[in-house]
Amino acid sequence: MTISGKARFTIAAVLALSLLVPASVSASAPYDSYTYNSSQRDVRSIAGYMYDGSIDGINWPSGPLNRPESMFISEEGNLYIADSGNNRIVELDAGHQYLRTYGDTEGEGALSEPKGVYVKEDGTVYVADTKNSRIAVFDKDGRFIRDYPKPESPLIGATFSYSPSKIVLDKRDYMFVVSDGNTQGLLQIDPKGEFRGFYGANHVGFSWSRLFVKLIATEEQRRKLAAIVPAEFSDLDMDEEGFMYTTTIGEEANQLKRLSPVGVDTLNFGVSRQYGDYFSVGPFTMASFIGVTVDDDGIITALDLQTSKLFQYDKLGNFLFSFGGVGEQNGLFATPSGVSQNKDGTIYVVDRGRNRIDWFRTTPFADLVHQASVLYVDGRYSEAESLWQEVLKQNANFEMAYQAIGKSMYKAERYKEAMDYFKLARARHDYSLAFKEYRKEYVRENFTMLAAGAMLLFAALRWGVPGAIRFARRKKTANAARTAPVALSPHAKEGESI
């Protein structure tokens, strides 16, 4: 059997296409790339992020990193690293070159195991100086300015344990502070150091088991029961609009939140969502998110300590990508502790267990998905349609693309096509809406035919059916009369008829 030149060319082209970038990107990643469908099953996907390098500080004049906890990236792209094991903050420029350290000298500005750092636009550095139980403030050249110790307030109480670990400032220069072990919410502290209340506290959900125990337990047993307290926040970030993004440890659902200025969760409003892997190790494990960062488009990237993975979601909470994991290879982590990102979308992950920071760049597929997702979230479905079509060409498993295209067709009043895409996306609610509109459209376009059919059906039911019934009855009577036996007269002879 011989193969023609044209056939050989076709086979060669197919083989070449199979070796294009998306395939090579996925193959070189030390972790599986996947997304979740509406049935909560993971399906293979193209990698959204690839490992691009590491920072360990071995060649710095101040020495290498030692148990770094978190980091902050300024508007200019400078990196500020909370190097907890060395009791300092390290500043690097956008090219990862060493600039200076903060808090590593004796005196009032000496830090003790800082866990968090935040930098204002003017370069002022705020440090969550955890072991010193304060917020320390430095100018852009590293000089100590002042500190904010534990605020005094009856709302806090004298026994409150103040261990600031993360900090963010809003446009009023109010400090929002995560304090380790605190379950009452984020602390709000004004520029004067006065306590302004707790913000966005988590709530204890209703439990039938707790209610049942309370109903049957005695008064003494109730006193011995451990008090149920809300879960504590572990990290926070703020977007340009003033919305606060938080992570929570110890919750099975809504571990990520987007809090409005008044503390209302707008990411999970009225719904319960499980973030992270659905079954990371077994059915009884749950994600433990310890880090979060949000970009200018509202795309959220959160770090899960349970799996050492990063999970990325759009502004509506739709799952986009996952990467990372436990391991010794580049792109995997020992004990990750923080996450941040710069303006070009590069993700930085602090790995406390390996005393370094890894950074990850976006793949072309991720750039395409991000661009389409931003348009989709903004309701610009028709503009996003061609981008989602390209996403499906590269990865037909990306279920969100089917729903997004369906939205575009629904908005364009192409209801029948929208139904097809909503069916592929398993979006039952959207499918029902499209079907309802398609039904209306079908009735309008075929009204004359449907009306004529209805009139014919009415006429058939009103006159045709009763007439057919009467005709059938008459025919039955006539047939019965013809087939009935004829009775003989008693005076007639046999063989004679009357």
CATH code of 161's domain: 2.120.10.30
CA end-to-end span of the chain, whole Å? 94
Phi, psi (degrees; rounded to nearest 5) at 371: -60, -45
Cα 77–Cα 82–Cα 86 angle in degrees, nearest 5: 130
**Residues 146, 283 within the same domain:** yes
Query: CB within 8 A of 122, min separation 6: which ones?
Result: 140
Please give the pLDDT value at position 457. Answer: 81
Check if the beta carbon of residue 242 is closer than 8 Å to that of residue 250. Answer: no
Please give the pLDDT value at position 37. Answer: 76
**Residues 273, 218 within the same domain:** yes
29 located within any domain: no
Phi, psi (degrees; rounded to nearest 5) at 235: -160, 170
490 located within any domain: no
Q: Which residue, 309, 328, 362, sits at the end of a domain?
A: 362
Q: Which two tokens stand for residue 22?
A: 């998306």
Q: Which two tokens stand for residue 332?
A: 């995997």
**Residues 346, 374 within the same domain:** no
Q: Which residue, 362, 380, 410, sits at the end of a domain?
A: 362
Please choose, from the candidates 424, 290, 391, the residue with its C-alpha nearest in 3D space to the C-alpha of residue 350.
Answer: 290
Distances (CA, A) of 372 to 86, 323, 453: 43, 20, 46
**Residues 408, 370 within the same domain:** yes
140 located within any domain: yes
Q: Which two tokens stand for residue 268?
A: 């999970």
CATH assignment of the domain containing 416: 1.25.40.10
Query: CB within 8 A of 311, min separation 6: which ones?
Result: 275, 276, 277, 287, 301, 302, 304, 319, 321, 322
How many domains does the chain divide into? 2
**Residues 442, 344 within the same domain:** no
**Residues 341, 455 within the same domain:** no
Quote the DSSP letter at residue 262.
T
Please give the pLDDT value at position 25. Answer: 45
**Residues 356, 384 within the same domain:** no
> Crossing angle of helices 447-459/428-445, nearest 10°?
80
**Residues 286, 417 within the same domain:** no
The full DSSP string for 365-382 is: HHHHHHHHHHHHHTT-HH
Please give the pLDDT value at position 117. Answer: 98
Please give the pLDDT value at position 222. Answer: 62
Q: Which two tokens stand for residue 135?
A: 């917020």
How deeply is 489 buried, as exposed, middle or buried, from its count of CB atoms within 10 A (0-12, 13-18, 19+)?
exposed
pLDDT tens for the chain, 498 residues: list them.
344 444 444 444 433 443 344 444 444 778 888 888 777 788 888 999 999 999 999 999 999 999 999 999 999 999 999 999 999 999 999 999 999 999 998 999 999 999 999 999 999 999 999 999 999 999 999 999 999 999 988 888 778 899 999 999 999 999 999 999 888 899 999 999 999 999 988 766 555 555 565 667 676 666 655 556 678 999 999 999 999 999 998 888 899 999 999 999 999 988 888 899 876 544 456 789 999 999 999 999 999 999 999 999 999 999 999 999 999 999 999 999 999 999 999 999 999 999 999 999 999 999 999 999 999 999 999 999 999 999 999 999 899 999 999 999 988 888 899 899 989 888 888 889 888 887 887 777 776 776 777 778 877 777 777 777 877 777 777 777 776 665 555 555 554 544
**Residues 245, 371 within the same domain:** no
Q: Which two tokens stand for residue 415?
A: 């209801």
18 located within any domain: no
Q: Can you name the residues that pair with 257 across neighbouring β-strands?
A: 246
Quote the DSSP letter at residue 50.
E
**Residues 372, 348 within the same domain:** no
Distances (CA, A) of 19 to 14, 92, 320, 398: 9, 38, 24, 20
22 located within any domain: no
420 located within any domain: yes
**Is this structure's pTM higher than 0.75?**
yes
Q: Which two tokens stand for residue 237?
A: 């970030």
The residue range of the domain holding 377 is 363-465
**Residues 336, 402 within the same domain:** no
104 located within any domain: yes
Please give the pLDDT value at position 11. Answer: 40
**Residues 320, 424 within the same domain:** no
Distances (CA, A) of 451 to 77, 186, 445, 455, 457: 68, 65, 11, 6, 10
Q: Which two tokens stand for residue 390?
A: 């390209």
Phi, psi (degrees; rounded to nearest 5) at 174: -75, 135
Q: Which residue, 362, 390, 406, sits at the end of a domain?
A: 362
481 located within any domain: no
d(CA 51, CA 71): 18
Phi, psi (degrees; rounded to nearest 5) at 83: -90, 85
Check if the beta carbon of residue 78 is closer than 8 Å to that of residue 92. Answer: yes
Q: How many CB atoms lie within 10 A of CB 39?
A: 8
Strands in 62-163 per DSSP E? 68-73, 79-83, 88-92, 98-102, 116-119, 125-129, 134-138, 144-149
